[in-house]
Amino acid sequence: MGKGKLIVLTGPSGVGKGTLLRSLLKRHPDLYLSISVTTRPPRPGEIPGKDYYFVTRLEFERMVANGELLEWAEFAGNYYGTPRTPVLEHIRQGKWVILEIELEGARQIRQTFPEALRIFILPPSLPELEDRIRKRGKDSEEAIVRRLNRAQEEIDAAAEFDIQIVNDNFDKALERIEETLFATAAC
């Protein structure tokens, strides 16, 4: 890979970006997934330092005040952010670093790291996204409505990104991500 690069992957909840990312990392283990820091408690099965760095609100606020985060946002009453030092260190080492982050954080990255490649994953349609969210069976009706309203706002912002990929066919969407990444290798 040679030259380090920052890649931002964004899209609404339920669009499949996490599943796409896991497959991409399996196929390309030389890519580095940045681990976010959060104030929310760990969910069952989550491993601190692997899934997230779990910190208190006070610790998170200290990180913000000290400029230790590349980006951060509040979502569903909790803070989420990207630790600056590991990302920059991996890029200096020539690695490609992927951030899977929300729209607000992606906008911050555009300001602080304009050379980052920004990819937005779109659903085939809002009704299809609603179907995917409902099939997960994780959310109350109120939460589903909130997610769908937020999804519409995020979809409306897709044009802010370098590349938009519709996840209407998993294998094709994964191939498009790979083509996007490796076509830009010479950049």
Does the structure show a pLDDT above 70 at 95? Answer: yes
How many separate domains does the chain show? 1
What pLDDT sits at residue 184?
Answer: 57
Q: Considering only 74-83, 116-125, 167-176, which range has the smallest mean pLDDT? A: 74-83
Question: What are the pLDDT digits (tens) for 6-56?
Answer: 999 999 988 999 999 999 999 999 999 999 999 999 988 999 999 999 999
Global confidence as pTM:
0.89
Question: Which residue range forms the structural domain that includes residue 55?
Answer: 5-183
Report CA 33 to chain centroid distance, whole Å. 10
Q: Which residue in 70, 84, 74 sits closest to 112, CA to CA?
A: 70
Average pLDDT estimate for 108-129: 94
The CATH number of whichever domain residue 78 belongs to comes to 3.40.50.300
d(C-alpha 164, C-alpha 122), whole Å: 7
Q: Give the DSSP letter string of 52-109.
A: BEE--HHHHHHHHHTT-EEEEEEETTEEEEEEHHHHHHHHHTT-EEEEE--HHHHHHH
Q: Which residue in 125, 170, 151 sits closest to 22, CA to CA?
A: 170
Does the structure show a pLDDT above 60 at 1? Answer: no
The type of residue at 105 is G
Region label for 15, one of left (φ > 0), alpha (ψ between -120 and 50) or beta (otherwise): alpha
Q: Counting beta carbons within 10 angstroms of the beta carbon of residue 43, is it exposed (0 to 12), middle (13 to 18) or buried (19 or more)?
A: exposed
From first CA to last CA, the distance across the chain in angstroms is 11
What pLDDT sits at residue 139?
Answer: 76
